[in-house]
Amino acid sequence: MDVLNFVIALHEALGVEIPEADYPGLATLDGCVAYLGAALARRPGAAP
């Protein structure tokens, strides 16, 4: 449940959809930064 609450909080704070299949990539802080950085860069209007 802790991982799910964490993912929900990320979604609410950043508006990033995180599919369940990607949860293992969020297991470490470095993984979270890499995943979220890539996800935010893909959003429309993101700076290049």
* Percentage of residues in the chain having pLDDT higher than 90: 81
The mean predicted confidence, pLDDT, of the chain is 91
The residue written with tokens 């979220």 in the block is 36
What pLDDT does 48 receive? 65
Judge residue 30's burial from the number of C-beta atoms within 10 Å of its C-beta, 0-12 exposed, 13-18 middle, 19 or more buried: exposed
* Interacting residues of 18 by C-beta distance below 8 A, sequence separation 6+: 7, 10, 11, 26, 35, 39
pLDDT surpassing 90 at residue 7 = yes
